[in-house]
Amino acid sequence: TWGEQIAAFVRPTAGHAPSEEERSRYMHILRIEYPVPDYEAWKASFDADVLGREKSVVRRYRILRPLDDPNYVVIDLKFDGPSEAQAYHVALRDLYSRVTVMRDPRAQIVEVVESKEY
């Protein structure tokens, strides 16, 4: 397809160690957000890493909170590809049914289409 041809053109070639910028360009992010009744209790649960983020396909995570609502979190989990993100999302949905430290999660998988630092 046209998209694959473009991707083959711009992706690093074999033997070339991709830079951090090149790696992040092809990352997929599972973005999750929800209210938490008690941030500290939620953070302790997150840090327990029940699903093994550190040893799995999660490459990086970032936790964000709105300035005006410290009991709401947005989490970005970075993956190499959409299938890894989807599999982790399935595992998270199962976990959601068994925890009480958060409510009404919303999640979607997005891909980085452009990123630039100044």
Q: 49 in helix, strand or coil?
A: coil
15 phi-psi bin (left φ>0, alpha ψ -120 to 50, beta other) = left
* DSSP states of 52-70: -TTTTT--EEEEE--TT-T
Cα separation, 110 vs 118, whole angstroms: 23
Token reading at 24: 């992040």
Mean pLDDT in consecutive groups of 10 residues from the start of the chain, 118 residues? 38 49 69 93 90 86 96 94 89 76 81 88
Task: Return the pLDDT at 9.
Answer: 37
